[in-house]
Amino acid sequence: MSVVEQYARAHIVTDTQDDDREAVPVVLRYDPDADPRAVRVGLPGAHEWSFSRELLEEGLRGPVGAGEVRVWPCGRVQAVVEFHSAGGVAVVQFERKALIRFLRRTYMAGARVSS
């Protein structure tokens, strides 16, 4: 099966946030051989989360959460993904179009495999 990997830029939201914060590189990954229902998000510093592809898709339309991950739209052009762990919370703001493009690619990869 075909692995989908997409690089995106996102903003880590903090309580000391200023308007000039720089975007950080993020890796969006889908490996149907490992789990055809899951996506992975890799943040700088070797932090990676795996969660339902459906959760990501639903979170672009309205607030959802499952386990340690929450997703919600933020205005018309952005979306927020919030990751909870024993070490704290990471709040990451993405451009919605990057997430939509990634999801589209994951479904196309799945369609090629099932044909």
Q: What is the pLDDT of residue 19?
A: 53
Q: What is the pLDDT of residue 115?
A: 47
**Sheet with strand 64-66: strands edge to edge:** 47-52, 38-43, 24-30, 4-13, 88-95, 78-85, 69-74, 64-66
Residue 30: name the closest of 91, 90, 85, 112 by CA.
112
Which tens digit of pLDDT belongs to each residue from 39-58? 999 988 868 999 999 999 99
- The answer to whether the predicted template modeling score (pTM) of the entire model surpasses 0.75 is yes
Q: What is the pLDDT of residue 47?
A: 83
**What H or E segment, with its residue span, contains residue 56?**
helix 53-59
The stretches in the chain having pLDDT less than 50 are 115
For the record, the structure tokens of 42 come out as 């890799």
What is d(CA 57, CA 72) in angstroms, rounded to the nearest whole number? 10
